Structure 1
């Protein structure tokens, strides 16, 4: 019971499906009987709602990316021809080509920055 907060912090709870987080994790007796554990899960639910509403960058430990040093950048569209997928090197701010985009390609693209797409 004493290690529950540490265990909960090691799981990216806000990335779980909302219904599972609310109906299973938040209602679990082990969580509800532990004040700090309950606070951690409540924070994860708030983060999840922020993610679902696309309401800005979520920076809490409950939604942290696997590797915070990496970002994936996709470029393209009807007016821009691009054949590669790029990553951004945060240390040098350099955009580095990583892989070819497979064909056939569609006339659209996405760029993920924080939780905004």
Structure 2
């Protein structure tokens, strides 16, 4: 992943780095849903009305690669897969709560 450099001294901008991970459509909503605990794929799919299974799979894979979520597979028939936030992912919940407060105050009447 290429990081955006926006400081005059050439250092990498932490806001740009974070935005590159969580800025994709649906990503923050997936994290929001996982903040309440373990979820299975179909639970996330139902909660995120309008997301395609392909997009959900891509976002989950990307978040797992970034260390934001963990994926646990169970050797059952049918296979069961559960997703949860890692410590790194839990730290993003505060960002979502700030966005919720902002939205309630300024955007949602």
TM-score (norm 1): 0.27
CA radius of gyration, larger in: 1
TM-score (norm 2): 0.28
